[in-house]
Amino acid sequence: MFLSSQLKRPGLFGQMVLLMLAVIVSCILLITVFFASIIDQLIEKTTGQQALTVAELVAENASIIDAFSTEDPAQSIQPLAEKLRVRTGADYIVIANKEGIRYSHPHPDQIGRVTETSNEIPLTGESIVFIDNGILGEAVKAKTPIYDEKGAIIGISSVGFLTSEVEDVIFLYQLRVAGFGGLALLIGIPGAFFIARRVKTLIFNLEPEEISHAFSEKQAILESIVDATLAISPALDILSANKKARDILGEHAIGTLTEPHLQALIQTALQNPNSLIQDRVLMNNLIYIVDISPIQAKETAISGFVLTIRPFSEVEDLANELIEIQQHANHIRAQTHEYLNKLNTLNGLLLLERYDDAKAFMKMEVQELQQTVTFLMTTVKDPLIVAVLLGKVNRAKEMKASLTFDANSQWLDFPDTIQSEHIVTVIGNLIDNALEASSALNGTKAAVHLSFTDFGNELIMDIEDNGKGMTAEEEAYFFTEGATTKNHAQHGLGLAIMQHALHQLGGEWYRSDRLQGGTCMTIAIPKTSIDYTNTKERKNHD
């Protein structure tokens, strides 16, 4: 157990340090050997050139050339050669005739003997540099011919430098190269530790297995997200995308993002890096809500964006549910408040023992409510729409406003194919806005009048109020998502959702100003469903 823990593979930090040290040591060794080899070759070449230069100077020496014609050339040549050897630093200078008999040598006993190496090349008129063993040992040698005054070859000049001395010089330079290598190693060791530590810090001190696990976990989480989610670089390269995003974008989610609407949103996000962007986008004939959030680490520039794409229909369904819940709550609150007032009034009449007035009050309230219920039940086919209209009547009473219906109204020719939930969203929002606009201007004199008909091929409803009215600029503003005059977080979506719900029904709305003041909103809903097969048509309606 102890042995296995001791032999445990080092972590990423240790592996990086060992790897960098191995690379540094290998590079230093290779460089040291390479430069040592170069220095070796350079010194040998330089020594050979130096030996050839000395040999040529000796061969051109006039005193030596003249001595060849004397009875005893060695007597004159030996001292001259030794003097030149000492001055040039050569290890030996040998002068020999064409037969190879020496006239000079560092060891005088070798004078008169034949040279051990061949003189064939110098006697042809060419110089030669080579390394060979001789009497004094291995040496870098150079041989060159000696010419007389007539240009005839009369002997050879041979100069040598022992390799043992050359090797001493090479070794000295090799020590210097090795010293530089050691210095580089001393610098490289702390450098390897610093780089390894820096890399570990950048990857949050995670080990490779942990990084792999985190990546797999991230992919699993990304794929499990119900909404389409993808990460985009500032250059529009797709960094990651889950299956839902790939299904929605199709070929636009391969490599680089090419969907033009999303490209425009990302450009907007780049221009506003500190803002969260949300907008509606039409893609593949469907409307989507797109949220864009920047990818930004601490104290660093934005490295990309995360896009979350949700079908607008899902958002609309949630909003409709919320609106219906709010409407039901408002209806219950209005009814509770209204009935509480009536009960208090009835209780007061009973305490005053005015029983006849109490009976008349109860009869009047029952008749009024019964008349409204009877009217709506006989003129509107869909019970859900009847319920929302009754709720708005109670809402109007709570606000001390008047909500009336045209006596000739009816919605009895109501096809089953029409989704009444969308109609509830449309008329509920329009009546609420009409009541609030009227109450804001007229208080208890606020009045909203509804008339509706199913004559022809459309269901038509007019909602009139006696508010302050609406300009064309206000109309364009209020029918955009988030526009509101109410300082409340839940306001700002109603009219936009109403408009989209109306378009889902294939309907249209119109606004007109009343002569006596206020606004008339008209909605027209076709009894037969409309299929927008043309993209341009859908854009016009969405």
* CA–CA separation, 318 and 468 (whole Å): 32
Handedness of CA 167, 173, 178, 179 (dihedral sign): positive
pLDDT of residue 190: 79
Amino acid (1-letter code) at residue 252 = H
The verdict on 325 and 466 lying in the same domain is yes
Structural domains counted in the chain: 3
The verdict on 138 and 242 lying in the same domain is no
- Judged on CB neighbours under 10 Å (0-12, 13-18, 19+), 284 is exposed
Model confidence band, residue 298 (pLDDT cutoffs 50, 70, 90): low
Per the model's pLDDT, the better-predicted residue between 301 and 418 turns out to be 418
pLDDT at 458 over 60: yes
By three-state DSSP, how is residue 416 classified? coil
pLDDT at 489 over 60: no
The verdict on 359 and 268 lying in the same domain is no
Domain annotation covers residue 432: yes
Q: Of 170, 195, 219, which one is at a domain's C-terminal end?
A: 170
Handedness of CA 354, 357, 362, 363 (dihedral sign): positive
* CA–CA separation, 508 and 522 (whole Å): 8
The verdict on 434 and 410 lying in the same domain is yes
pLDDT of residue 480: 54
Q: Give me the DSSP letters along 304-342.
A: EEEEEEEEHHHHHHHHHHHHHHHHHHHHHHHHHHHHHHH
pLDDT at 273 over 70: yes
The verdict on 256 and 129 lying in the same domain is no
- Tens digits of per-residue pLDDT, 10-57? 666 667 777 777 777 777 777 777 776 776 676 677 878 888 888 888
Q: Of 112, 143, 170, which one is at a domain's C-terminal end?
A: 170
What is the domain extent for residue 231? Answer: 208-302
* CA–CA separation, 315 and 216 (whole Å): 30
The verdict on 267 and 331 lying in the same domain is no
Per the model's pLDDT, the better-predicted residue between 411 and 501 turns out to be 411
pLDDT of residue 477: 60
Average pLDDT in the chain? 77
Domain annotation covers residue 193: no
Q: Are the C-beta atoms of residues 240 and 222 closer than 8 Å to each other?
A: yes
Tell me the mean pLDDT in the region 258-278.
Answer: 79
The verdict on 117 and 248 lying in the same domain is no
* CA–CA separation, 157 and 534 (whole Å): 105
Domain annotation covers residue 131: yes
Q: Are the C-beta atoms of residues 319 and 495 closer than 8 Å to each other?
A: no
Per the model's pLDDT, the better-predicted residue between 300 and 99 turns out to be 99
Structure tokens, 323: 């609106």
pLDDT at 463 over 90: yes
The verdict on 90 and 234 lying in the same domain is no
pLDDT > 70: what percent of the chain? 76
Torsional class of 286: left (φ above 0), alpha (ψ -120 to 50), beta (otherwise): beta
219: domain CATH number?
A: 3.30.450.20
Tell me the mean pLDDT in the region 210-214.
Answer: 69
The verdict on 270 and 333 lying in the same domain is no
pLDDT at 223 over 60: yes
* CA–CA separation, 371 and 15 (whole Å): 88
The verdict on 297 and 343 lying in the same domain is no
The single-letter DSSP state of residue 408 is T
- Tens digits of per-residue pLDDT, 144-169? 999 988 888 899 999 988 877 666 66
* CA–CA separation, 16 and 208 (whole Å): 12
